[in-house]
Structure 1
Amino acid sequence: MDGTVEARVNAGRGGADGGPIAGVQIQQNRRLPDFLQTVNLKYVKLGYHYLISHLITLCLIPIMAVLFVEVSQMNPDDIRQLWLQLKYNLVSVIVCSAIMVFGSTVYIMTRPRPVYLVDYSCYRAPDNLRAPFHRFMDHSKQTGDFDESSLEFQRKILERSGLGDDTYVPEAMHQLPPAPSMAAAREEAEQVMFGALDNLFGNTSIKPKDIGILVVNCSLFNPTPSLSSMIVNKYKFRGNIRSFNLGGMGCSAGVIAVDLAKDLLQVHRNTHAVVVSTENITQNWYFGNKKSMLIPNCLFRVGGSAVLLSNKSTEKRRAKYKLVHIVRTHKGADDKAFRCVYQEQDDAGKTGVSLSKDLMAIAGGALKTNITTLGPLVLPVSEQLLFFSTLVLKKLFNKNVKPYIPDFKLAFDHFCIHAGGRAVIDELEKNLQLTEVHVEASRMTLHRFGNTSSSSIWYELAYTEAKGRMRKGNRVWQIAFGSGFKCNSAVWQALRNVKPSGNGPWEDCIEKYPVKLVF
């Protein structure tokens, strides 16, 4: 999420200008709503709409299977008798042939082309960009931009954030005074994007000329020429590449970018697509004293990822995963949801990202919609029947009946929850009844790399691989939140026992994790 709220600010009432006074108290009582107890029936219907839209394909598969079984059980005499009957019945032959041709055509035309995740890479910044807590606070104090109340607020946020001492901030923020500039922001973008892409191309041996689709997402930094053009220029991609640059879409933009690439791969045959997800901190550090705009400073850190997708059947042999589902939820029509993560200027004219006090409730509503839509696509039939029957009983007979909470652990083997902040990870663990192992990748990614925005779900997947937990057939649920307000899910299935690729972000530190977090 764009700076998940980790704390509640009780600073008393200010003067006529509404400004806060000293004495900041941080409370950890902001929680997601118990969304699984208040399911809206229309979202269940939306989930089943996805299934109905593919009804023809679903019906054809069992019909063809039954026909195959029947034919396989026929002996030579049965086949001879069938041939003799059809030989003298031209109408039957024409009708059967027409049905078979029509059914095969419909199946081929409506069947989506498989999208394979060949490999991916996560950027890891050099050690000189590390920002341990003491250095972060000392540097913030020396800038002279923050008053004592703001410094105390940042200190308490850091202590309870779930971040460790090994996260990274850009070079411009290490200088005194800080030197954010367009040139420095470009340098940060180049280091992250090119670092991830160099590693991806090295691990896959794919040449830049083989890439037909490029999608780049970065929410807060959108220069001219675009970030996608910077990549095209650096790697000399071919002139007819289909490139896209997504801006202002928040921390869930990585899933949106994958969805866009997937749709393009349904149209363009035999090609590769690269999705680059990042965020830029250099020009988006807040140097004011408004509490709701200081939280992103404490959570966001340098990071980025590059993902190689393909629709080539030959890539299946070496691909790590196959894309199964993407479900997107957008709550932007609601004014509160639209403004809950909002880039603006404070009263002193300093720009930052403001986080609404309603952020957690809005995130819970978006999540409720998303997982209720996703449920019919991924849950076993037994779980769907229990869930749907109790929901109907609640709606028709007794409002006090609690809906059955589906066990998503039966649908997924691994969970990659966007590492936007500790509060959301904790609440998802509680509401979805997950274990500590299920949320371990998210917590450790937040601890080691901080909130890297849209790329955090890839650091989490890399953690699972580095731990040797990804087995053939395992299903992975990536779920991310973003401004707007959006909640998006991607479901992947492992095509083999997946091992981490070279130069992974956890390569030299995975043995240290998991670490015990104390707050």
Structure 2
Amino acid sequence: MLAMILPPCSLPLLFLCSQFLSTFMSRPRSIYLIDFACYRPDDDLKVTKDQFIEQARKSGKFDEASLEFQKRILKSSGLGDETYIPKAIMSHENCATMKEGRFEASTVMFGALDELFEKTRVRPKDVGILVVNCSIFNPTPSLSAMIINHYKMRGNILSFNLGGMGCSAGIIAVDLARDMLQANPNNYAVVVSTEMVGYNWYPGRDRSMLLPNCFFRMGCSAVLLSNRRRDFRHAKYRLEHLVRTHKGADDRSFRCIYQDEDEQKFKGLKVSKDLVEIGGEALKTNITTLGPLVLPFSEQLLFFTTLIWRNLFGNSKGSPSSSPGKALHSRLQACI
């Protein structure tokens, strides 16, 4: 029917226009990071490493062996003397309660979001997508519902609350926000990442469960993302690539960080001694996937030359590199 209406010479032009529109409409939207905010607690919550051990001793929750172990871990932890902890964890009372968890959550999340909205001049009602991640503390109503209620956000907001996702939860939350922004044009997305220190505080003697006491501290981050074209000029960053690797099918990986109870029925987060090895394997897989996306062609060619050389000649003296994995890692560092 169309051929009868349009002259034959117009058909190629119509085809080209339709192809152009199809390509343009299916092209992924650019995702911009407008700004971010990190919550900084009040100075009265700041502790040095020595103060941490002294307050832990005064709380009466630990024996001397547990205190000495935490002291050794803190010395090699890389933490400075200006970290923050909730007051409740050093009291004689049980701090792992819903009341204390909600109080800490509201303090850190609202603190970060207040700063973010002030910096960006974006109203909470303008946000169309909200993603919150917190591994351990997952109350009902959810943390995302707490934020929506506090800021009186709009009724059609797409909200998500991620729990139990571990240290990769922030990346997973950004990935989810990106997918939502691709499907919903002209929108803002807020990603909130936090962890409740008090709710996961472990007062027992199991050394594998004492480790989180030494590494986790009070804090929260909030990020504003946008897919609006006009935000390009004042955005700090543009999201180019996001790569995820999941090792959960492997039993060792699945149990390397495991919430459990000890012999005294104290709840805590058990950290396996295999964590570093398992994390290294996941990172190697992740970098191998990321490499082709960010490395220039010349570096990719050098990497595959190294890989072929090693397969043909093994670890001979003339090999371009002793390890293709190390070669790829070094190339990534050079490009970054």
Fold conserved between structures, TM > 0.5: yes
Secondary structure in 1 aligned to 2:278?
Answer: helix
Aligned position for 2:170: 254
Secondary structure in 2 aligned to 1:314?
Answer: helix
CA distance in 2, matches of 1:105, 1:314: 21
Gaps of 5+ in 2: 1-6
* Deviation (angstroms), 1:403: 4.0
Q: 1:350 to 1:176 in 2, by over 3 A?
A: closer
Aligned position for 1:101: 17
Q: Pick from 276, 279, 284: which aligns with 1:360?
A: 276
Gaps of 5+ in 1: 1-89, 413-519
Paired letter, 1:284? N
Paired residues for 1:37-56 under 5 Å: none
Aligned position for 1:163: 79
Structure 1 residues 434-475: Cα deviation after superposition (integer angstroms, max 9, x where no partner):
xxxxxxxxxxxxxxxxxxxxxxxxxxxxxxxxxxxxxxxxxx
Paired letter, 1:365? E
Paired residues for 1:175-186 under 5 Å: 175-177=91-93, 179-186=95-102
Which ranges of 4 or more aligned residues in structure 1 deviate by more than 4 Å? 90-93
CA distance in 1, matches of 2:38, 2:285: 30
Structure 1 residues 90-134: Cα deviation after superposition (integer angstroms, max 9, x where no partner):
867644x25533541342133110011111100000011112122
Aligned position for 2:313: 398
Aligned position for 1:224: 140
Q: Pick from 59, 62, 66: which aligns with 1:150?
A: 66
CA contact (8 A) 2:95 2:199 kept: no
Structure 1 residues 469-496: Cα deviation after superposition (integer angstroms, max 9, x where no partner):
xxxxxxxxxxxxxxxxxxxxxxxxxxxx
Q: Pick from 203, 226, 229: which aligns with 1:287?
A: 203
CA contact (8 A) 1:129 1:174 kept: no
CA distance in 2, matches of 1:333, 1:180: 31
CA distance in 1, matches of 2:27, 2:305: 31
Aligned position for 2:333: 409
Q: Pick from 231, 242, 248: which aligns with 1:315?
A: 231
CA distance in 1, matches of 2:93, 2:100: 14
- Aligned pair count reads 321
| Of 214-223 and 98-107, the range deviating more from structure 2 | 98-107
CA distance in 2, matches of 1:410, 1:285: 40
* Deviation (angstroms), 1:267: 0.7
User: RMSD of aligned C-alpha atoms?
Assistant: 1.6
Paired residues for 1:12-31 under 5 Å: none
Corresponding position: 1:196 with 2:112: yes
CA distance in 2, matches of 1:111, 1:370: 25
CA distance in 2, matches of 1:292, 1:216: 28
Aligned position for 2:222: 306
Aligned position for 1:77: none
Q: Pick from 270, 274, 294: which aligns with 1:378?
A: 294
Corresponding position: 1:348 with 2:264: yes
Paired letter, 1:141? R
* Deviation (angstroms), 1:319: 1.1
CA contact (8 A) 1:387 1:403 kept: no
CA distance in 1, matches of 2:176, 2:254: 22
CA distance in 2, matches of 1:409, 1:346: 42
CA distance in 1, matches of 2:308, 2:271: 37
Paired letter, 1:115? I
Corresponding position: 1:118 with 2:42: no
CA distance in 2, matches of 1:376, 1:201: 37
CA distance in 2, matches of 1:345, 1:176: 20
CA distance in 1, matches of 2:150, 2:61: 37
CA distance in 2, matches of 1:146, 1:329: 38
Q: 1:383 to 1:99 in 2, by over 3 A?
A: farther
CA contact (8 A) 1:117 1:320 kept: yes
CA distance in 1, matches of 2:197, 2:240: 33
CA distance in 2, matches of 1:399, 1:102: 53
Corresponding position: 1:237 with 2:153: yes
CA contact (8 A) 2:56 2:90 kept: no
CA distance in 2, matches of 1:219, 1:304: 13
Secondary structure in 1 aligned to 2:84?
Answer: coil
* Deviation (angstroms), 1:315: 1.2
CA distance in 1, matches of 2:290, 2:185: 28
Secondary structure in 1 aligned to 2:199?
Answer: helix
CA contact (8 A) 1:211 1:241 kept: yes
CA distance in 1, matches of 2:64, 2:110: 39
CA distance in 2, matches of 1:103, 1:394: 45
Paired letter, 2:76? R
CA distance in 2, matches of 1:116, 1:356: 37
Corresponding position: 1:332 with 2:248: yes
Paired residues for 1:253-272 under 5 Å: 253-272=169-188
* Deviation (angstroms), 1:222: 0.3
CA distance in 2, matches of 1:119, 1:317: 12
CA distance in 2, matches of 1:341, 1:208: 35
CA contact (8 A) 2:35 2:223 kept: yes
Q: 1:365 to 1:179 in 2, by over 3 A?
A: closer
CA contact (8 A) 1:208 1:235 kept: yes
Paired letter, 1:138? E
Structure 1 residues 388-416: Cα deviation after superposition (integer angstroms, max 9, x where no partner):
12212333x2332534403113432xxxx
* Deviation (angstroms), 1:370: 0.2
* Deviation (angstroms), 1:251: 1.5
CA distance in 1, matches of 2:180, 2:286: 23
CA distance in 2, matches of 1:244, 1:146: 37
* Deviation (angstroms), 1:183: 1.0
